[in-house]
Chains A and B, each alone.
Chain A
Amino acid sequence: MSEATTTMAAREWPQALSKVPYWVFQDAEVYRAEQQNIFHGPFWSYLCLEAELGEPGDYCATFIGEQPVLVTRDFDGEIYAFENRCAHRGSLIAMDHYGHAKDFTCVYHAWTYNLQGDLTGVAFEEGINGKGGMGSDFCKRAHSPRRLRLANVHGLIFGSLDNDVPDIEDYLGQEILDRIERVLGGRKPVVLGRFTQNLPNNWKLYIENVKDSYHASILHLFFTTFGLNKLNQKGGIVVSESGAHHVSWSAINREAESGEHYKDQKIRSDSEYQLEDPSLVDSFSEVGDDITLQILSVYPGFVLQQIQNSIAVRQVLPTGVDTTDLHWTYLGFEEDTEEQQLVRMKQSNLVGPAGYVSMEDGAIGGFVQRGIAGASGEFATVQMGGQEAVSSESRVTEASIRGFWKVYREAMGFSIEESK
């Protein structure tokens, strides 16, 4: 048992999935244990898109938790990933977020690595004029940075630092795989823009927010205020079997919308306020079905989003107990027409740091972080929709949040309180 796990076993976690102790968002010891038990643990973390490594030599310098990793495409066409830390004295091997290189040379002492992460050169390895240099017992092959396990799910590259991680298909389960395929399957994504949001809160508060379908129509008033709600939408929540991942979705009800009843009610123009340019919400069927919203999360920190025709991936990276980096990558597809790209551009206003429906998510975690400052002995209540972490036809539920905590508390090794 690791040291972090032993320390965490001394902590009691409530047995009910509906109680979340606030100390889990505040404690530096918990934060350090997460790096080991979650981010270095048997879980898959999103790294980048296959499309971002189009050519041999393309690379992406990213993170799993706080751990810097380098993802590359080598000349054999394969994708590789390894820890972005020189085997010599620990300096970053590459610094650009996205770049292109034939190989990597550490700037400190010019140790060189190929695109697969093998140490290939050590400056002055033989010394100079027979003096100095590495001892004869030094073996370059024993000093390569640690390689990651990799998985490619419809162009999403996931990596794990733990060799014991289950295969990605078992990890995600069929329902989640199907929902990823629905958006990305058979299509070639094109990056439309990348934006990073610094969140003033613990990373798990953002994850809770993503999984929380209950808040959507309450906190985000953009659609309601401008009378853009479709009241007859159907939808639901999918919680993966383990509880780890989720999908929240809704779809337009075409029959009802085309019916006279709907038009007579003037549901869409009932509001006091109107958009001057309502073309913002003109959309096309993204993949030929009626689903207009699909928010999908993969434990621990990945989100695939379809909000109408705004497609994006979000990578959630903890940077401290109460700071988080949220990386947005906005996507289109190679086969998009000019009109479709225009729709995506307009709808990009719905998401991101200035998004009409997502700007509030950037701030709400900070409100919680500040709100719980004096309450490390208290608990959040996530009882909406019951106590279980299961799929539901209603989105007025906190089931997928409970699913997150179910997997989290086990991975962290907390002692579960005896039921009273």
Chain B
Amino acid sequence: MDAFTLISRAQGSYVRSIDDGPIEDWPEHFADDAFYKVTTADNHRRGLPAGVIWANNKAMLKDRISALKEANIYEPHSYRHLLGQPAILEESEDGATSETSFLVVRITGNGPTDVFASGRYLDEHVFVDGTALLKRRVVVCDSTRTDTLLVLPL
């Protein structure tokens, strides 16, 4: 399969794990030594390193999921991700880099469908056994604002 197809399949599966579950599948889209960060366009432009979520291995991503299932207290809510087509920036036999725009709406409790986040994924993928795994995903949110809290990953 070509890079575009591999990445598209992986991203389809990625958003499904968050939006429809099981959420435990979400970390499985990452390589063991993956880097994942959620930040804002303003921080990204200024080169500021911190994230609202910051992880430098897959174990930290699994901890995110066990924390939201077992520890953290919040009003039940769900997301729906809408992704643009991935723009493939570089590709080889072993991997690729890409950028993909996203829009995420959130439904909290029995409330309305609210626009929660828009932005772009800045990605590095590795191709392993015919599957694209994320080696690095920086989630750059367009706005500096987070409404109330961010529990489920983007």
Which positions in A face B, CB cutoff 8 Å?
A: 97, 191-200, 219, 221-222, 224-226, 273, 275-277, 280, 330, 341-342, 344-346, 348-349, 352-354, 356, 359-360, 362-363, 366-367
**Which of B54, B55, B71, B148 has a CB less than 8 Å from the CB of A197?**
B148
Which positions in B face A, CB cutoff 8 Å?
A: 38-40, 42-43, 48-57, 59-60, 62-63, 66-67, 70-75, 144-151
Q: Which residues of B contact A196 (CB under 8 A)?
A: 144-146
Closest to A347 in B: B54
Closest to A222 in B: B71
Chain B's nearest CB lies how many Å from the CB of A275? 5
Q: Which residues of A contact B49 (CB under 8 A)?
A: 192-193, 341, 345
Q: Which residues of B contact A345 (CB under 8 A)?
A: 49-51, 54, 56
In contact, A353 and B52 (Cβ under 8 angstroms): yes
Chain B's nearest CB lies how many Å from the CB of A317? 12
The distance in angstroms between the C-alpha atoms of A360 and B67, with both chains bound, is 12
In contact, B71 and A356 (Cβ under 8 angstroms): yes
Contact (A222, B149) CB under 8 Å given A194-B42, A345-B50, A354-B52: no
In contact, B51 and A353 (Cβ under 8 angstroms): no
The distance in angstroms between the C-alpha atoms of A366 and B148, with both chains bound, is 9
Chain B's nearest CB lies how many Å from the CB of A98? 8
The distance in angstroms between the C-alpha atoms of A197 and B42, with both chains bound, is 15
Chain B's nearest CB lies how many Å from the CB of A202? 14
Q: Which residues of B contact A353 (CB under 8 A)?
A: 52, 146, 148-150
Q: Which residues of B contact A348 (CB under 8 A)?
A: 50-52, 54
The distance in angstroms between the C-alpha atoms of A61 and B66, with both chains bound, is 39
In contact, B67 and A276 (Cβ under 8 angstroms): no
The distance in angstroms between the C-alpha atoms of A362 and B66, with both chains bound, is 20
Chain A's nearest CB lies how many Å from the CB of B28? 13
In contact, B73 and A195 (Cβ under 8 angstroms): no
Chain B's nearest CB lies how many Å from the CB of A223? 9
The distance in angstroms between the C-alpha atoms of A199 and B149, with both chains bound, is 8
Q: Which residues of A contact B67 (CB under 8 A)?
A: 222, 225-226, 356
The distance in angstroms between the C-alpha atoms of A379 and B88, with both chains bound, is 59
The distance in angstroms between the C-alpha atoms of A315 and B43, with both chains bound, is 18
In contact, B51 and A360 (Cβ under 8 angstroms): no
Contact (A363, B148) CB under 8 Å given A222-B71, A273-B70: yes
Most buried by A among B50, B147, B150: B50
The distance in angstroms between the C-alpha atoms of A352 and B60, with both chains bound, is 17
Q: Which residues of A contact B149 (CB under 8 A)?
A: 197, 353-354, 359-360, 362-363
Chain B's nearest CB lies how many Å from the CB of A268? 16
The distance in angstroms between the C-alpha atoms of A362 and B52, with both chains bound, is 13
Q: Which residues of B contact A225 (CB under 8 A)?
A: 67, 70-71
Q: Which residues of B contact A219 (CB under 8 A)?
A: 73
Most buried by A among B40, B59, B144, B146: B146
Q: List 14 A-B contacts (CB under 8 A).
A: A97-B42, A197-B147, A197-B148, A198-B148, A276-B59, A277-B57, A280-B63, A345-B54, A353-B148, A353-B149, A354-B149, A354-B151, A356-B67, A360-B74
Most buried by A among B52, B57, B70: B52
Closest to B73 in A: A360
Q: Which residues of B contact A275 (CB under 8 A)?
A: 59, 63, 66
Closest to B42 in A: A194
